[in-house]
Amino acid sequence: MTVGPRCLIVQPVHADGLDRLRDAGIEPVLCPEASTGAVARLLPGCVAAVTRDFGFSAACFAAADGLRVLAVHGAGHDAVDKAAATRAGVLVCNAPGHNARSVSELALGLALAAARLVPAADRDERAGKRGFRERHRSAELGGKTALIVGWGATGAGLGRMLHAALGMRVLVFSPRAADTGGFPRVATLEEGLAQADLVSLHTPMRDETRGMIGHAALARVKPGVLLVNTARAGLVDEAALAEAVADGRVAAAGLDVYSHEAPRGPLAATDRVIFTPHLGGATDEALRRMAAASAAIVIEALAGGTPATALNAPVGVYAAPAAAGG
């Protein structure tokens, strides 16, 4: 039986993406679990791969015998060892922007849920525990000030939503953003923290952003601030945040990204921290778009092109291999 070039699908993606690969003559190989062992077992013979938050380690690249392109299903690529990819001659591309609307909407939902302590109120009602309104204070967001840290597609989307729907004053801290759509910038993070009633993080993980919300930053926040993080766990020093929530400097936090231990650690000791299981881009609409974009990356690269979202130096022109007998 004749088979086309193979593409390893490390984690499940929307069926539309698989159909696009098949229509292009590329055979998807579905990984039964996202583990280095499973990837190493199935990767030989594959010329392409698609990964989500599992990433792709140096050990995975070492297991490849003909891999040419790795597509990251979404924007985040911290978990991909791009230096190992370049050494192995593998082009790495991501698919930014396709889940932006979904992440922005979740950030808005977390901001509202944190302001009104919605999950804690729900738990108390289910448990028959009365007096929630008397024990807890909540606040409106309307007319207050939001600081958006990182003015990419998700941050800009949230900023526009907050301004249009709630009449919030929106400040932007994003040194790399060329245009903030008319919203005022702050020169430093500290300047924005001192004014913000809501801080929402949307910046990539870089050396300069790792731990940016730590003891020093939290010492400068406006008392009673709300914090939302739908970007990267490492942007927040979780121990410092736990202290700030405990002493009231942070009224509540909504976290879609966090360390593995956080839901059982100090941050979990209070009803004023909300955890969601990395739901930002997990809508059907976003999953469909990201799968289609990932498939398009694979198809373009194997046809000899270099996709516009290449993350490492181009390592050559990729021609689709001839179909092999099986």
On the 0-12 / 13-18 / 19+ scale of CB atoms within 10 A, 298 is buried
User: According to DSSP H, which parts of 43-152 are helical?
Assistant: 58-63, 82-87, 100-116, 118-126, 132-135
Q: Does 278 participate in catalysis according to the annotation? A: yes
Question: What φ, ψ does residue 123 adopt, rounded to 5°?
Answer: -60, -45
Point out the catalytic residue in the list 232, 238, 289, 300. Answer: 232
Q: How far apart are alpha carbons 233 and 241 in whole angstroms?
A: 12
CA dihedral 121, 115, 245, 153 (to 10 degrees): 130
163 carries an active-site annotation: no
**End-to-end CA gap in the chain:** 5
Q: Which SS3 state, helix, strand or coil, does residue 100 take? A: helix
Catalytic residue among 33, 125, 140, 261: 261
Candidate list 136, 160, 278, 288, residue with the active-site label = 278
3-state SS assignment for residue 173: strand
Helix ranges (DSSP H) in 127-152: 132-135
- Alpha carbon separation from 323 to 3, 7, 65, 189 (Å, rounded): 6, 13, 16, 54
The tally of CA atoms less than 13 A away on the side-chain side of residue 128 is 0
Contact between 115 and 224 under an 8 Å Cβ cutoff? The reply is: no
Cβ–Cβ < 8 Å for 132, 81: no
List the catalytic residues. 232, 261, 278
